[in-house]
């Protein structure tokens, strides 16, 4: 029987996909002003990744200066992804996108390499060799020099402006004006100025800021955040009462000159990842020599300030007359805006109290129904009391919190950095002995360069250790406060009842729980943050002859930061 020709089909080799991410950074929120926007950097990085056969799985974007490291939320998220071993490469447009500080970049790049991840520049050919690392250090030193030089030029320019009594003219101009950078003065924009005059006129006529905001929304007037086509982070397309009040309180509209130097950026960031600013010492402020063209006269401005003060007193009195347990803690479950207390009367004269979404007063009703205050207070308070009496649920939250914050990972990273510091110090001791045993310049020069590099590495690792220690301290302090609060809740759950607890103590407790209530019709959802302060029970609880004197005290006021 003839044997047929055997045929074999080779299986195609399965090539594992190499996964990479792209990191882009611009120094300000108005991206693209310097020609290197996020999109520009991302395009170059994607092209380079395709050439090298990488699959881009995510893009991280930060709007921060290159001198900040730990304050950049997207970079922190990227580093966490690298530690988990999910990616093989990080692409950047240039090396200075990671950091303009040489010591900081040494730490980050070494961290990538320790986890098997490459650091690739789309525009600079840097090889992973001694020569490549030397070139990388040189480029990093140049970038750090550029930061220092730019900072020095900025400070010198500010000093010149201050000496000549000229404003800085940064950011957006006041609503109703535009900046003239050549003369460093303000110029009236009549299309906006007419509405500013109307706002002051309506306020003099007795309209509240909420009513004025709703009227402008009905008229279709563009608010300052979006009316000029400027992309503003978190900008709302609606007028709000807070925007109206800021206009009414601004003395610039009465002709006051611009004041510069009031704020400066800090290294801190908010919960949402935005850069924070802080007020400077008033001694550092300076006024512009040229006044602002007024939109209202001084008498009208003074009359508006007096009207705002009188309304404030009336509002405070009304708050004292009608106290509400959840005032300031309720938000609309539909649109996310605040819900404020509201009262109505029926024909028989009976008063009803409701929480009402502020969108109704703003002229952009979201459709949420009102929520009876008495019903909401009862539901929320009973839920809080039940929580305080449920020790198992609180202990579960403690364990969940510790797991979320990954203390074990932080401690491992801390030990790794301390180990590298010890290794670098041993290397320095060996280099010092070698330097003392030789006088040959050809040997001494590279040894001195290596010694400077090791010292820079130690400084960078120490900075990383300090950051980890600070984070660990915060996490453990919060966990301790949470555990202490759990013990207090066990005691508090026994003594809190409707007979001997006061309204003030209830408010203290709810604020301590960082309570947030989302309401829609008669549907509610509550969220609790970490306790910030354990409230003092002694002024809140009324004297009760039945309470045992030997009962444990709930006091202890432990304060922590998030």
Residue 490, classed as helix, strand or coil, is: helix
Grade residue 91 by pLDDT with cuts at 50, 70 and 90: very high
**Is there a common fold for 18-160 and 177-302?**
no
Per mean pLDDT, which range of 15-29, 99-113, 180-194, 377-391 is the poorest? Answer: 99-113
Structure tokens at 318: 């009304």
Of how many residues is the chain composed? 562
Q: Tokens 């003030």: give the residue.
A: 504
In whole angstroms, what is the distance from residue 490 CA to residue 492 CA? 6
Closest-CA residue to 295 (of 167, 176, 172, 178): 176
Residue 543 in contact with residue 460, Cβ under 8 Å? no
| CATH classification (class only), 177-302 | alpha beta
Measured distance CA(473)–CA(410) in Å, rounded: 11
Q: What is the pLDDT of residue 264?
A: 58
Distance CA 239, CA 222 (A): 8
- Average confidence score pLDDT of the chain: 71
Start-end of H helices in 496-530: 503-512
pLDDT (0 to 100) of residue 21: 92
pLDDT of residue 383: 81
**Which pLDDT value is given to residue 260?**
62
Q: What pLDDT score does 555 carry? A: 30
Element (H, E) at 301: helix 298-321
> What is the spatial distance between Cα 249 and Cα 256, in angstroms, rounded to a whole number?
12
Specify whether 27 is catalytic. yes
Smallest Cα–Cα separation from 557: which of 473, 458, 484, 468? 484
The pLDDT tens digits for 116-156 are 888 888 887 765 555 555 655 666 566 556 666 666 676 66
Say if residue 48's pLDDT is above 80: yes
The reported pLDDT for the residue numbered 481 is: 63
Q: What is the pLDDT confidence band of residue 4, given thresholds at 50, 70 and 90? A: very low
**Of 42-51, 318-327, 421-430, which one has max mean pLDDT?**
42-51
Q: Measured at the alpha carbon of residue 109, what is the angle toward residues 105 and 111, in degrees to the nearest 5? A: 115
Catalytic residue (choose from 27, 209, 252, 359):
27
Q: Is 60 exceeded by the pLDDT of residue 11? A: no
pLDDT value at 373 more than 80: yes
pLDDT of residue 170: 59
* CA gap 444, 438 in Å, rounded: 7
The H or E element spanning position 275 is: strand 275-279
C-alpha closest to that of 24 among 108, 117, 96, 106: 96
Nearest to 210 by CA among 308, 140, 117: 308
Q: Using alpha carbons, select from 484, 478, 483 the residue that is nearest to residue 562.
A: 478
- Other beta carbons within 10 angstroms of residue 479's beta carbon come to 18
pLDDT digit string, tens, across residues 476-516 = 766 666 666 666 555 555 555 555 677 777 887 777 777 78
**Which residues, at least 6 apart from 320, have a Cβ–Cβ distance to it below 8 Å?**
none
DSSP for 62-125 reads EES-TT-STT-HHHHHHHHHHHTT--SEEEESSGGGT-SSHHHHHHHHHHHHHTT-EEEESS--
Q: Which two tokens stand for residue 154?
A: 């900025």
Token duo for residue 488? 């207090």
In order, the DSSP letters of 126-195 are --SSHHHHHHHHHHHHHHHHHHHHHHHHHHHHHHHHHHTT-----SPPPTTEEEETTTTEEEE-HHHHHH
- Give residue 22's pLDDT: 92
Q: Give the position of tokens 């006024």.
A: 287
How far is residue 95's CA from residue 137's CA, in Å, rounded to a whole number?
A: 10
Cβ-contact 20, 87 below 8 angstroms? yes
The average pLDDT across 40-65 equals 86
What DSSP string runs through 393-459? HHHHHHHHHHHHHTHHHHHHHHHHHHHHHHHHHHHHHHHHHHHHT---HHHHHHHHHHHHHHHHHHH
For 123, the token pair is 């525009």
Output the pLDDT for position 418: 85
Say how far apart CA 505 and CA 538 lie, in whole Å. Answer: 9
Question: What is the Cα–Cα distance from 252 to 298, expressed in whole angstroms?
Answer: 11
Q: What is the pLDDT of residue 362?
A: 66
Domain 18-160: which CATH number of 3.40.50.1390, 3.20.19.10, 2.60.40.1930, 2.30.30.90: 3.40.50.1390
Question: For residue 413, which of 466, 455, 474 has the smallest C-alpha distance?
Answer: 466
The greatest distance separating any two alpha carbons of the chain, rounded to the nearest whole angstrom, comes to 117
- The mean pLDDT value for 346-357 works out to 82
Per-residue pLDDT reduced to its tens digit, 182-202: 777 788 888 888 999 999 999
Average pLDDT over residues 312-340: 72
Note the pLDDT of residue 220: 84
- Tens of pLDDT, residues 536-552: 333 333 333 333 322 22
pLDDT over threshold 60, residue 528: yes
Among candidate residues 424, 433, 419, 421, the one with its CA nearest the CA of residue 452: 424
Domain residues of the chain, as ranges?
A: 18-160, 177-302, 323-405+469-562
Which of 202-206, 220-224, 295-299, 430-434 shows the lowest mean pLDDT across its residues? 430-434
Query: In sequence order, what are the beta bridge partners of 260?
Result: 286
Please report which confidence band the pLDDT of residue 15 belongs to, taking 50, 70 and 90 as the band edges.
very low
Of the listed ranges 302-316, 392-406, 425-439, the one predicted with least confidence: 392-406
CB–CB of 167/124 below 8 Å?
Answer: no
Tokens of 16: 């594992």
Determine phi and psi for 519, rounding to 5 degrees: -120, 145
Tell me the range of 46-55, 172-181, 517-526, 534-543 where mean pLDDT is highest.
46-55
Measure the CA angle with vertex 120, ends 114 and 125; round to 5°.
125
């Amino acid at each position: 029987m003839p044997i047929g020709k055997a045929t074999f089909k080779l299986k195609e080799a399965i090539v594992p996909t190499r996964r990479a991410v792209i990191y882009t950074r611009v120094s300000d929120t108005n991206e693209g002003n310097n020609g290197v926007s996020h999109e520009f950097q991302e395009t170059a990085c994607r092209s380079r990744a395709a050439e090298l056969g990488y699959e881009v799985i995510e893009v991280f974007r930060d709007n921060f200066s290159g001198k900040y490291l730990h304050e950049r939320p997207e970079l922190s998220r990227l580093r966490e992804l690298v530690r988990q071993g999910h990616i093989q490469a990080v692409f950047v447009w240039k090396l200075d996108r990671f950091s303009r500080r040489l010591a900081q970049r040494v730490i980050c790049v070494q961290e990538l390499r320790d986890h098997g991840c490459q650091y690739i520049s789309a525009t600079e050919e840097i090889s992973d060799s001694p020569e490549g690392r030397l070139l990388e250090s040189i480029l990093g030193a140049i970038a750090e020099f550029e930061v220092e030089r730019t900072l020095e030029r900025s400070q010198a320019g500010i000093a010149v402006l201050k000496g000549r009594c000229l404003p800085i003219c940064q950011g957006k101009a006041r609503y109703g004006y535009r900046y003239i950078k050549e003369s460093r003065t303000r110029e009236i924009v009549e299309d906006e100025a007419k509405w500013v005059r109307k706002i002051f006129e309506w306020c003099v006529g007795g309209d509240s800021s909420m009513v004025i905001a709703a009227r402008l929304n009905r008229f279709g007037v563009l608010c300052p955040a979006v009316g000029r086509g400027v992309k503003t982070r978190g900008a709302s397309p609606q007028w709000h009462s807070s925007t109206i009040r800021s206009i009414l309180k601004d003395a610039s509209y009465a002709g006051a000159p611009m004041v510069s130097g009031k704020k400066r950026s800090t290294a801190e960031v908010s919960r949402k990842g935005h850069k924070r600013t802080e007020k400077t010492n008033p001694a550092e402020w300076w006024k512009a020599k040229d006044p602002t063209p007024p939109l209202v006269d001084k008498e009208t401005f003074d009359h508006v300030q007096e009207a705002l003060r009188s309304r404030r007193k009336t509002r405070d009195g009304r708050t004292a007359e009608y106290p509400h347990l959840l005032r300031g803690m309720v938000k609309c479950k539909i649109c996310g805006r605040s819900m404020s207390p509201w009262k109505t009367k029926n024909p028989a004269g009976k008063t009803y109290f409701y929480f009402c979404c502020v969108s109704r007063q703003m002229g952009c009703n979201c459709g949420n129904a009102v929520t009876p205050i008495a019903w909401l207070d009862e539901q929320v308070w009973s839920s809080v009391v039940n929580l305080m009496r449920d020790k198992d649920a609180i202990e579960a939250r403690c364990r969940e919190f510790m797991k979320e914050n990954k203390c074990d990972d932080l401690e491992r990273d801390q030990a790794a950095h301390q180990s590298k510091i010890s290794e670098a110090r041993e290397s320095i001791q060996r280099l010092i002995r070698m330097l003392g045993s030789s006088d040959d310049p050809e040997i001494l020069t590279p040894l001195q360069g290596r010694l400077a590099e090791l010292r820079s590495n130690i400084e960078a690792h120490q900075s990383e250790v300090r950051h980890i220690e600070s984070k660990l301290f915060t996490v453990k302090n919060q966990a301790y406060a949470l555990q202490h609060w759990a013990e207090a809740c066990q005691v508090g759950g026994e003594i809190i009842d409707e007979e001997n607890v006061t309204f003030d103590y209830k408010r203290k407790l709810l604020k301590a729980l960082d309570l947030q209530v989302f309401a829609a019709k008669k549907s509610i959802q509550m969220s609790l943050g970490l306790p910030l302060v354990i409230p003092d029970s002694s002024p809140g609880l009324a004297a009760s002859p039945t309470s045992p004197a030997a009962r444990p005290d709930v006091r202890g006021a432990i304060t922590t930061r998030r």
